[in-house]
Structure 1
Amino acid sequence: MMDQAAIKKIIPHRDPFLLLDSVLELSPEHVVALKHVTGEEDFFRGHFPEYPVMPGVLIVEALAQAGAVSILSRPEFAGKIAFFGGLDKVRFKRQVRPGDTLRLEVQITRLRGPVGFGEGKAYVGEELACQASLMFAVQRD
Protein backbone atom coordinates (compact mmCIF):
# COMPACT_ATOMS: atom_id res chain seq x y z
CA MET A 1 0.00 0.00 0.00
CA MET A 2 1.15 3.50 -0.81
CA ASP A 3 0.15 6.57 1.20
CA GLN A 4 -0.14 10.16 -0.04
CA ALA A 5 3.51 10.92 0.73
CA ALA A 6 4.59 8.07 -1.55
CA ILE A 7 2.10 9.13 -4.24
CA LYS A 8 3.64 12.63 -4.19
CA LYS A 9 7.01 11.07 -5.09
CA ILE A 10 5.49 9.81 -8.36
CA ILE A 11 3.00 12.47 -9.52
CA PRO A 12 3.36 16.26 -9.13
CA HIS A 13 -0.22 16.98 -7.95
CA ARG A 14 -0.59 18.72 -4.59
CA ASP A 15 -3.42 19.92 -2.37
CA PRO A 16 -6.03 21.02 -3.09
CA PHE A 17 -5.83 19.15 -6.41
CA LEU A 18 -4.32 15.84 -5.32
CA LEU A 19 -7.35 13.55 -5.42
CA LEU A 20 -5.75 10.27 -4.28
CA ASP A 21 -5.45 9.24 -0.65
CA SER A 22 -3.76 5.88 -1.14
CA VAL A 23 -2.78 3.25 -3.68
CA LEU A 24 -3.72 -0.35 -2.89
CA GLU A 25 -2.28 -2.09 -5.97
CA LEU A 26 0.32 -0.87 -8.44
CA SER A 27 2.00 -2.26 -11.51
CA PRO A 28 3.09 -0.60 -14.77
CA GLU A 29 -0.18 -1.80 -16.34
CA HIS A 30 -2.70 -1.55 -13.50
CA VAL A 31 -3.49 0.55 -10.45
CA VAL A 32 -6.13 0.56 -7.73
CA ALA A 33 -6.33 3.75 -5.65
CA LEU A 34 -8.70 5.25 -3.09
CA LYS A 35 -10.19 8.70 -2.58
CA HIS A 36 -12.10 9.20 0.67
CA VAL A 37 -14.72 11.86 -0.05
CA THR A 38 -15.00 13.64 3.29
CA GLY A 39 -17.28 16.55 2.44
CA GLU A 40 -14.54 18.97 3.53
CA GLU A 41 -13.18 19.31 -0.01
CA ASP A 42 -13.33 22.89 -1.26
CA PHE A 43 -15.43 22.07 -4.33
CA PHE A 44 -18.39 21.15 -2.12
CA ARG A 45 -18.79 24.84 -1.11
CA GLY A 46 -20.31 25.51 -4.51
CA HIS A 47 -21.30 22.08 -5.89
CA PHE A 48 -23.91 22.09 -4.41
CA PRO A 49 -24.23 23.57 -0.89
CA GLU A 50 -27.71 22.12 -0.27
CA TYR A 51 -26.99 18.76 -1.95
CA PRO A 52 -23.23 18.16 -2.17
CA VAL A 53 -22.12 16.00 -5.10
CA MET A 54 -18.53 15.44 -6.25
CA PRO A 55 -18.23 16.97 -9.74
CA GLY A 56 -17.97 14.33 -12.44
CA VAL A 57 -14.96 16.02 -14.00
CA LEU A 58 -13.10 15.56 -10.70
CA ILE A 59 -13.96 11.86 -10.63
CA VAL A 60 -12.41 11.61 -14.10
CA GLU A 61 -9.41 13.64 -12.87
CA ALA A 62 -8.99 11.18 -9.98
CA LEU A 63 -8.97 8.32 -12.51
CA ALA A 64 -6.35 10.19 -14.55
CA GLN A 65 -4.19 10.73 -11.46
CA ALA A 66 -4.40 7.02 -10.66
CA GLY A 67 -3.40 6.19 -14.24
CA ALA A 68 -0.53 8.65 -14.00
CA VAL A 69 0.76 6.84 -10.90
CA SER A 70 0.84 3.61 -12.91
CA ILE A 71 2.55 5.10 -15.97
CA LEU A 72 5.00 7.27 -14.05
CA SER A 73 6.03 4.34 -11.86
CA ARG A 74 7.89 3.00 -14.91
CA PRO A 75 11.63 3.73 -14.67
CA GLU A 76 11.72 5.40 -18.09
CA PHE A 77 9.09 7.95 -17.00
CA ALA A 78 10.29 8.63 -13.44
CA GLY A 79 10.24 12.34 -12.59
CA LYS A 80 8.07 13.28 -15.58
CA ILE A 81 4.53 14.63 -15.81
CA ALA A 82 1.67 12.74 -17.46
CA PHE A 83 -0.82 15.07 -19.14
CA PHE A 84 -4.36 14.31 -20.25
CA GLY A 85 -4.32 13.60 -23.96
CA GLY A 86 -7.99 12.81 -24.35
CA LEU A 87 -11.16 11.25 -23.00
CA ASP A 88 -13.70 9.01 -24.63
CA LYS A 89 -16.77 7.05 -23.63
CA VAL A 90 -17.16 8.84 -20.29
CA ARG A 91 -20.24 7.68 -18.41
CA PHE A 92 -21.48 8.62 -14.96
CA LYS A 93 -23.59 5.95 -13.30
CA ARG A 94 -23.89 7.07 -9.69
CA GLN A 95 -23.53 10.27 -7.69
CA VAL A 96 -20.54 10.51 -5.36
CA ARG A 97 -21.44 12.17 -2.07
CA PRO A 98 -19.66 13.06 1.18
CA GLY A 99 -18.87 9.92 3.14
CA ASP A 100 -18.29 7.82 0.02
CA THR A 101 -14.98 6.16 -0.76
CA LEU A 102 -14.05 6.03 -4.42
CA ARG A 103 -12.11 2.97 -5.56
CA LEU A 104 -10.31 3.99 -8.73
CA GLU A 105 -9.17 1.23 -11.07
CA VAL A 106 -7.17 1.96 -14.21
CA GLN A 107 -5.88 -0.62 -16.65
CA ILE A 108 -3.21 0.67 -19.05
CA THR A 109 -4.15 -0.95 -22.34
CA ARG A 110 -1.51 0.42 -24.68
CA LEU A 111 1.68 2.41 -24.48
CA ARG A 112 3.42 3.79 -27.55
CA GLY A 113 6.44 5.83 -26.66
CA PRO A 114 5.25 8.72 -24.50
CA VAL A 115 1.54 8.15 -25.28
CA GLY A 116 -0.59 5.80 -23.19
CA PHE A 117 -4.16 4.60 -23.27
CA GLY A 118 -6.20 3.18 -20.42
CA GLU A 119 -9.61 2.13 -19.22
CA GLY A 120 -10.74 3.62 -15.93
CA LYS A 121 -13.56 2.71 -13.59
CA ALA A 122 -14.53 4.40 -10.33
CA TYR A 123 -16.60 2.49 -7.80
CA VAL A 124 -18.38 3.29 -4.56
CA GLY A 125 -18.54 -0.06 -2.84
CA GLU A 126 -19.43 -2.47 -5.65
CA GLU A 127 -21.43 0.16 -7.53
CA LEU A 128 -19.93 1.64 -10.68
CA ALA A 129 -19.90 5.44 -10.40
CA CYS A 130 -17.95 6.37 -13.53
CA GLN A 131 -16.12 4.79 -16.43
CA ALA A 132 -13.93 6.37 -19.09
CA SER A 133 -11.35 5.66 -21.76
CA LEU A 134 -8.28 7.78 -21.01
CA MET A 135 -5.34 8.95 -23.09
CA PHE A 136 -2.11 10.23 -21.52
CA ALA A 137 0.88 12.03 -22.95
CA VAL A 138 4.08 11.87 -20.92
CA GLN A 139 6.25 14.99 -20.79
CA ARG A 140 9.13 14.87 -23.24
CA ASP A 141 12.67 15.87 -22.28
Structure 2
Amino acid sequence: MGEVLGVRQIKAILPQRYPMLMLDRVEVLSETTAWAVKNVSMNELYFQGHFPNHPIMPGVLQVEAMKQLGELLVRSKLDPEGTQDVYMRVLEKVKFRRPNNPGDRLKIEAEVTEFRDAEAVVKAKTFNNGGQTCEAIITLAVRPREGAREMPLLFNENDKHSETPMDVLRIMSLVPHRYPFLLIDNISMIDGEHIRAVKNITVNEEIFAHCPDDYAVMPESLLCEISAQSGCACVLSRPENAGKIGYFMSIDRAESFAPILPGDQLVIDIDLPPGKSKFGKGSGTITVGGRVVFSITLMFAIVDA
Protein backbone atom coordinates (compact mmCIF):
# COMPACT_ATOMS: atom_id res chain seq x y z
CA MET A 1 0.00 0.00 0.00
CA GLY A 2 1.27 3.47 -0.88
CA GLU A 3 0.68 6.90 0.59
CA VAL A 4 -2.99 7.88 0.76
CA LEU A 5 -3.86 11.55 0.23
CA GLY A 6 -7.14 13.14 1.28
CA VAL A 7 -8.54 16.43 0.03
CA ARG A 8 -6.36 18.52 2.34
CA GLN A 9 -3.15 16.89 1.10
CA ILE A 10 -4.32 17.04 -2.54
CA LYS A 11 -4.99 20.77 -2.22
CA ALA A 12 -1.54 21.28 -0.75
CA ILE A 13 -0.06 19.99 -4.04
CA LEU A 14 -2.58 21.02 -6.70
CA PRO A 15 -3.93 24.53 -7.39
CA GLN A 16 -7.35 23.36 -8.63
CA ARG A 17 -10.35 24.22 -6.48
CA TYR A 18 -14.17 24.03 -6.62
CA PRO A 19 -15.73 23.37 -9.05
CA MET A 20 -12.75 22.04 -11.01
CA LEU A 21 -11.01 19.79 -8.45
CA MET A 22 -11.65 16.30 -9.86
CA LEU A 23 -9.92 14.08 -7.28
CA ASP A 24 -11.49 13.01 -3.96
CA ARG A 25 -8.74 10.67 -2.72
CA VAL A 26 -5.39 9.51 -4.09
CA GLU A 27 -3.02 6.64 -3.44
CA VAL A 28 0.54 7.30 -4.59
CA LEU A 29 2.04 3.91 -5.42
CA SER A 30 5.46 5.08 -6.57
CA GLU A 31 7.23 8.15 -7.95
CA THR A 32 5.61 7.48 -11.32
CA THR A 33 2.28 5.76 -10.60
CA ALA A 34 -0.88 6.62 -8.69
CA TRP A 35 -4.60 6.00 -8.68
CA ALA A 36 -7.47 8.12 -7.47
CA VAL A 37 -11.20 8.10 -6.78
CA LYS A 38 -13.74 10.64 -8.00
CA ASN A 39 -17.27 10.05 -6.75
CA VAL A 40 -19.87 11.22 -9.26
CA SER A 41 -22.78 12.93 -7.51
CA MET A 42 -25.94 14.55 -8.80
CA ASN A 43 -25.17 17.48 -6.47
CA GLU A 44 -22.23 18.56 -8.61
CA LEU A 45 -22.57 21.84 -10.40
CA TYR A 46 -22.13 20.55 -13.94
CA PHE A 47 -25.20 18.30 -13.68
CA GLN A 48 -27.55 21.21 -13.02
CA GLY A 49 -29.50 21.57 -16.27
CA HIS A 50 -26.85 19.70 -18.27
CA PHE A 51 -28.27 17.16 -20.75
CA PRO A 52 -31.91 17.47 -19.55
CA ASN A 53 -33.43 14.12 -18.52
CA HIS A 54 -30.09 12.39 -19.10
CA PRO A 55 -27.47 13.57 -16.60
CA ILE A 56 -24.00 12.60 -17.77
CA MET A 57 -20.53 13.59 -16.61
CA PRO A 58 -18.87 15.58 -19.41
CA GLY A 59 -16.10 13.48 -20.95
CA VAL A 60 -13.61 16.31 -20.75
CA LEU A 61 -13.89 16.26 -16.95
CA GLN A 62 -12.50 12.73 -17.08
CA VAL A 63 -9.60 14.22 -19.03
CA GLU A 64 -9.26 16.89 -16.36
CA ALA A 65 -9.19 14.21 -13.63
CA MET A 66 -6.42 12.35 -15.48
CA LYS A 67 -4.50 15.57 -15.97
CA GLN A 68 -4.74 16.42 -12.28
CA LEU A 69 -3.54 13.00 -11.17
CA GLY A 70 -0.59 13.25 -13.55
CA GLU A 71 0.12 16.76 -12.32
CA LEU A 72 0.13 15.52 -8.73
CA LEU A 73 2.87 13.04 -9.66
CA VAL A 74 5.10 15.46 -11.57
CA ARG A 75 4.57 18.88 -10.01
CA SER A 76 7.50 18.57 -7.59
CA LYS A 77 9.85 17.91 -10.51
CA LEU A 78 8.40 20.30 -13.08
CA ASP A 79 7.69 23.11 -10.63
CA PRO A 80 9.59 22.53 -7.35
CA GLU A 81 9.02 26.11 -6.16
CA GLY A 82 5.29 25.94 -6.81
CA THR A 83 5.29 29.26 -8.66
CA GLN A 84 4.42 28.23 -12.23
CA ASP A 85 1.43 26.91 -14.13
CA VAL A 86 1.58 23.18 -14.89
CA TYR A 87 -0.59 22.84 -17.98
CA MET A 88 -1.66 20.26 -20.55
CA ARG A 89 0.51 21.13 -23.53
CA VAL A 90 -0.50 18.14 -25.67
CA LEU A 91 -3.42 15.72 -25.40
CA GLU A 92 -3.38 12.61 -27.61
CA LYS A 93 -5.23 9.38 -28.34
CA VAL A 94 -8.24 10.18 -26.17
CA LYS A 95 -11.09 7.69 -26.40
CA PHE A 96 -14.37 8.09 -24.52
CA ARG A 97 -15.58 4.51 -24.14
CA ARG A 98 -18.62 4.66 -21.86
CA PRO A 99 -20.51 7.31 -19.87
CA ASN A 100 -20.34 8.19 -16.18
CA ASN A 101 -23.60 9.09 -14.51
CA PRO A 102 -24.62 10.19 -11.00
CA GLY A 103 -24.01 7.28 -8.61
CA ASP A 104 -20.90 6.06 -10.45
CA ARG A 105 -17.50 6.01 -8.79
CA LEU A 106 -14.67 6.93 -11.12
CA LYS A 107 -11.27 5.24 -10.76
CA ILE A 108 -8.41 7.18 -12.32
CA GLU A 109 -5.02 5.57 -13.04
CA ALA A 110 -1.93 7.48 -14.14
CA GLU A 111 1.63 6.48 -15.00
CA VAL A 112 4.45 8.85 -15.87
CA THR A 113 6.23 7.21 -18.80
CA GLU A 114 8.80 9.87 -19.65
CA PHE A 115 10.47 13.02 -18.37
CA ARG A 116 12.10 15.22 -21.01
CA ASP A 117 13.45 18.73 -20.55
CA ALA A 118 10.68 20.60 -18.68
CA GLU A 119 7.93 18.17 -19.70
CA ALA A 120 6.42 14.88 -18.54
CA VAL A 121 4.38 12.33 -20.49
CA VAL A 122 1.53 10.63 -18.63
CA LYS A 123 -0.55 7.64 -19.74
CA ALA A 124 -3.89 7.56 -17.96
CA LYS A 125 -7.17 5.66 -17.86
CA THR A 126 -10.50 5.93 -16.07
CA PHE A 127 -12.95 3.22 -15.05
CA ASN A 128 -16.35 2.79 -13.43
CA ASN A 129 -18.16 -0.36 -12.30
CA GLY A 130 -18.99 -1.16 -15.92
CA GLY A 131 -15.38 -1.09 -17.15
CA GLN A 132 -13.02 1.38 -18.78
CA THR A 133 -14.55 4.77 -19.54
CA CYS A 134 -11.69 6.82 -21.00
CA GLU A 135 -7.98 6.80 -21.85
CA ALA A 136 -5.46 9.43 -22.89
CA ILE A 137 -1.82 10.34 -23.30
CA ILE A 138 -1.04 13.72 -21.77
CA THR A 139 2.10 15.82 -22.06
CA LEU A 140 2.41 18.22 -19.13
CA ALA A 141 4.65 21.28 -19.25
CA VAL A 142 5.22 24.48 -17.24
CA ARG A 143 4.76 28.15 -18.08
CA PRO A 144 4.90 31.36 -16.04
CA ARG A 145 1.74 32.53 -14.29
CA GLU A 146 1.52 35.66 -16.38
CA GLY A 147 -1.47 37.95 -16.37
CA ALA A 148 -3.00 39.96 -19.19
CA ARG A 149 -0.63 42.35 -20.95
CA GLU A 150 -2.93 44.20 -23.34
CA MET A 151 -6.53 45.23 -23.79
CA PRO A 152 -8.67 43.19 -26.20
CA LEU A 153 -9.79 44.57 -29.54
CA LEU A 154 -13.50 45.25 -29.15
CA PHE A 155 -16.42 45.11 -31.58
CA ASN A 156 -15.02 43.06 -34.44
CA GLU A 157 -16.86 40.95 -37.00
CA ASN A 158 -17.23 38.09 -34.50
CA ASP A 159 -19.17 40.11 -31.94
CA LYS A 160 -22.90 39.40 -31.90
CA HIS A 161 -24.96 41.63 -34.23
CA SER A 162 -28.35 41.65 -35.91
CA GLU A 163 -27.27 39.22 -38.64
CA THR A 164 -25.37 36.73 -36.44
CA PRO A 165 -26.25 33.24 -37.81
CA MET A 166 -26.88 31.71 -34.37
CA ASP A 167 -27.33 33.37 -31.02
CA VAL A 168 -27.27 31.41 -27.77
CA LEU A 169 -31.00 30.65 -27.89
CA ARG A 170 -30.66 29.08 -31.32
CA ILE A 171 -27.63 27.11 -30.09
CA MET A 172 -29.64 25.86 -27.10
CA SER A 173 -32.37 24.64 -29.47
CA LEU A 174 -29.79 22.38 -31.14
CA VAL A 175 -27.52 21.10 -28.35
CA PRO A 176 -28.46 19.70 -24.92
CA HIS A 177 -25.78 21.61 -23.02
CA ARG A 178 -26.94 24.07 -20.39
CA TYR A 179 -25.52 26.17 -17.54
CA PRO A 180 -22.85 25.77 -16.32
CA PHE A 181 -21.55 23.70 -19.22
CA LEU A 182 -22.83 25.56 -22.28
CA LEU A 183 -19.50 26.98 -23.43
CA ILE A 184 -20.22 28.87 -26.64
CA ASP A 185 -22.03 32.21 -26.86
CA ASN A 186 -22.80 32.55 -30.56
CA ILE A 187 -21.98 31.29 -34.04
CA SER A 188 -20.59 34.15 -36.10
CA MET A 189 -20.18 32.32 -39.41
CA ILE A 190 -21.26 29.14 -41.20
CA ASP A 191 -19.79 28.54 -44.63
CA GLY A 192 -20.46 25.04 -45.91
CA GLU A 193 -18.18 22.71 -43.97
CA HIS A 194 -16.66 25.53 -41.92
CA ILE A 195 -18.06 27.06 -38.74
CA ARG A 196 -16.85 29.93 -36.58
CA ALA A 197 -18.07 30.11 -32.98
CA VAL A 198 -17.37 32.62 -30.22
CA LYS A 199 -16.86 32.22 -26.49
CA ASN A 200 -16.34 35.32 -24.35
CA ILE A 201 -14.34 34.53 -21.21
CA THR A 202 -15.36 36.35 -18.02
CA VAL A 203 -14.06 36.09 -14.48
CA ASN A 204 -17.64 35.63 -13.20
CA GLU A 205 -17.76 32.08 -14.58
CA GLU A 206 -17.92 29.37 -11.91
CA ILE A 207 -14.67 27.76 -13.04
CA PHE A 208 -12.78 30.86 -11.89
CA ALA A 209 -14.58 31.14 -8.54
CA HIS A 210 -11.77 29.83 -6.36
CA CYS A 211 -8.63 30.17 -8.46
CA PRO A 212 -5.60 30.37 -6.14
CA ASP A 213 -3.30 33.40 -6.06
CA ASP A 214 -5.72 35.31 -8.28
CA TYR A 215 -4.41 33.38 -11.29
CA ALA A 216 -7.54 32.66 -13.32
CA VAL A 217 -6.74 30.55 -16.39
CA MET A 218 -9.05 28.42 -18.55
CA PRO A 219 -8.29 24.67 -18.22
CA GLU A 220 -7.20 23.06 -21.47
CA SER A 221 -9.76 20.29 -20.96
CA LEU A 222 -12.54 22.87 -21.33
CA LEU A 223 -11.02 24.13 -24.58
CA CYS A 224 -11.66 20.64 -25.94
CA GLU A 225 -15.30 20.94 -24.86
CA ILE A 226 -15.64 24.40 -26.41
CA SER A 227 -14.36 23.01 -29.71
CA ALA A 228 -16.69 20.00 -29.56
CA GLN A 229 -19.76 22.10 -28.80
CA SER A 230 -18.95 24.39 -31.72
CA GLY A 231 -18.76 21.42 -34.06
CA CYS A 232 -21.92 19.83 -32.69
CA ALA A 233 -23.91 23.03 -33.12
CA CYS A 234 -22.89 23.13 -36.77
CA VAL A 235 -23.60 19.46 -37.53
CA LEU A 236 -26.91 19.44 -35.64
CA SER A 237 -28.09 22.50 -37.58
CA ARG A 238 -28.07 20.44 -40.79
CA PRO A 239 -31.61 19.36 -41.79
CA GLU A 240 -30.76 15.66 -41.89
CA ASN A 241 -29.72 15.80 -38.20
CA ALA A 242 -32.80 17.57 -36.85
CA GLY A 243 -33.77 16.26 -33.43
CA LYS A 244 -30.55 14.30 -32.94
CA ILE A 245 -27.82 14.68 -30.33
CA GLY A 246 -24.00 14.66 -30.45
CA TYR A 247 -21.67 12.66 -28.21
CA PHE A 248 -17.92 13.26 -27.86
CA MET A 249 -16.11 10.08 -29.03
CA SER A 250 -12.39 10.81 -29.28
CA ILE A 251 -9.61 13.37 -29.57
CA ASP A 252 -6.77 12.46 -31.92
CA ARG A 253 -4.63 15.36 -30.78
CA ALA A 254 -5.03 18.71 -29.07
CA GLU A 255 -2.30 21.23 -28.35
CA SER A 256 -2.21 24.38 -26.24
CA PHE A 257 0.03 27.31 -27.22
CA ALA A 258 -0.88 30.06 -24.74
CA PRO A 259 -2.98 30.58 -21.60
CA ILE A 260 -6.53 31.91 -21.90
CA LEU A 261 -7.56 34.54 -19.36
CA PRO A 262 -10.71 36.47 -18.40
CA GLY A 263 -11.34 39.24 -20.91
CA ASP A 264 -10.25 37.09 -23.86
CA GLN A 265 -12.61 36.48 -26.76
CA LEU A 266 -12.17 32.97 -28.15
CA VAL A 267 -12.79 32.54 -31.87
CA ILE A 268 -13.27 28.86 -32.68
CA ASP A 269 -12.84 27.79 -36.31
CA ILE A 270 -13.84 24.19 -37.06
CA ASP A 271 -13.91 22.30 -40.37
CA LEU A 272 -16.48 19.49 -40.45
CA PRO A 273 -16.72 17.61 -43.74
CA PRO A 274 -20.08 15.81 -44.11
CA GLY A 275 -19.73 12.14 -43.23
CA LYS A 276 -21.45 9.04 -44.61
CA SER A 277 -22.03 7.55 -41.17
CA LYS A 278 -23.24 8.65 -37.76
CA PHE A 279 -19.68 9.66 -36.86
CA GLY A 280 -18.29 13.10 -37.63
CA LYS A 281 -14.66 14.16 -37.59
CA GLY A 282 -13.46 17.71 -37.43
CA SER A 283 -10.35 19.78 -36.86
CA GLY A 284 -9.90 23.36 -35.88
CA THR A 285 -8.22 26.11 -33.95
CA ILE A 286 -9.01 28.63 -31.26
CA THR A 287 -7.59 32.12 -31.67
CA VAL A 288 -7.40 35.15 -29.39
CA GLY A 289 -6.78 38.47 -31.10
CA GLY A 290 -5.79 36.65 -34.28
CA ARG A 291 -3.20 34.46 -32.54
CA VAL A 292 -3.68 30.68 -32.45
CA VAL A 293 -3.81 29.52 -28.82
CA PHE A 294 -5.20 25.99 -29.27
CA SER A 295 -5.67 23.34 -31.96
CA ILE A 296 -7.62 20.08 -32.00
CA THR A 297 -8.71 17.12 -34.11
CA LEU A 298 -11.77 15.32 -32.72
CA MET A 299 -14.57 12.88 -33.47
CA PHE A 300 -18.16 12.70 -32.23
CA ALA A 301 -21.21 10.58 -32.88
CA ILE A 302 -24.61 11.83 -34.02
CA VAL A 303 -27.39 9.69 -32.55
CA ASP A 304 -31.12 9.87 -31.97
CA ALA A 305 -32.04 11.92 -28.91
TM-score, normalization: structure 1?
0.93
Residues in 2 aligned to 1:111 and 1:44: alpha-carbon distance in whole angstroms: 37
Please report how far the alpha carbon of residue 134 of structure 1 lies from its aligned counterpart in structure 2 after TM superposition. 0.8
Q: Name the structure 1 match of 2:257.
A: 93
Residue pair 1:28, 1:70 contacting (<8 A) in 2 also: no
In the alignment, residue 64 of structure 1 is paired with which amino acid? A
Residue pair 1:27, 1:70 contacting (<8 A) in 2 also: no
Structure 1 gaps, min length 5: none
| Partner secondary structure for residue 223 of structure 2 | helix
The structure number with the bigger radius of gyration is 2
Give matches, 1:1-141, under 5 Å.
1=164, 2-27=166-191, 29-48=193-212, 50-109=214-273, 111-140=275-304
50-59 vs 110-119, greater mean Cα deviation: 110-119
Structure 2 gaps, min length 5: 1-163
In the alignment, residue 244 of structure 2 is paired with which amino acid? K
Q: Which consecutive segments of 4 or more residues in structure 1 shift more than 3 A?
A: 46-49
Please report how far the alpha carbon of residue 139 of structure 1 lies from its aligned counterpart in structure 2 after TM superposition. 1.2
Please report how far the alpha carbon of residue 27 of structure 1 lies from its aligned counterpart in structure 2 after TM superposition. 4.4
| Partner secondary structure for residue 62 of structure 1 | helix
In the alignment, residue 36 of structure 1 is paired with which amino acid? N
Residue pair 1:29, 1:71 contacting (<8 A) in 2 also: no
Residues in 2 aligned to 1:22 and 1:66: alpha-carbon distance in whole angstroms: 9
Q: Which has the higher contact order (CA 8 A, sep 6+)?
A: 1
In the alignment, residue 31 of structure 1 is paired with which amino acid? I
RMSD: 1.5
Please report how far the alpha carbon of residue 109 of structure 1 lies from its aligned counterpart in structure 2 after TM superposition. 3.3
Residues in 2 aligned to 1:39 and 1:16: alpha-carbon distance in whole angstroms: 14
In the alignment, residue 258 of structure 2 is paired with which amino acid? R
Please report how far the alpha carbon of residue 20 of structure 1 lies from its aligned counterpart in structure 2 after TM superposition. 0.7
Over the matched positions of the two proteins, sequence identity in percent amounts to 36
- Identify if the C-alpha distance between structure 1 residues 27 and 118 changes in structure 2 by more than 3 Å, giving closer, same or farther: same
Give the paired residue count: 141
Please report how far the alpha carbon of residue 48 of structure 1 lies from its aligned counterpart in structure 2 after TM superposition. 4.5
Please report how far the alpha carbon of residue 23 of structure 1 lies from its aligned counterpart in structure 2 after TM superposition. 0.6
Deviations 1:110-136 (A, max 9, x none): 513110100021111111111010101
Please report how far the alpha carbon of residue 72 of structure 1 lies from its aligned counterpart in structure 2 after TM superposition. 0.5
Residues in 2 aligned to 1:110 and 1:44: alpha-carbon distance in whole angstroms: 36
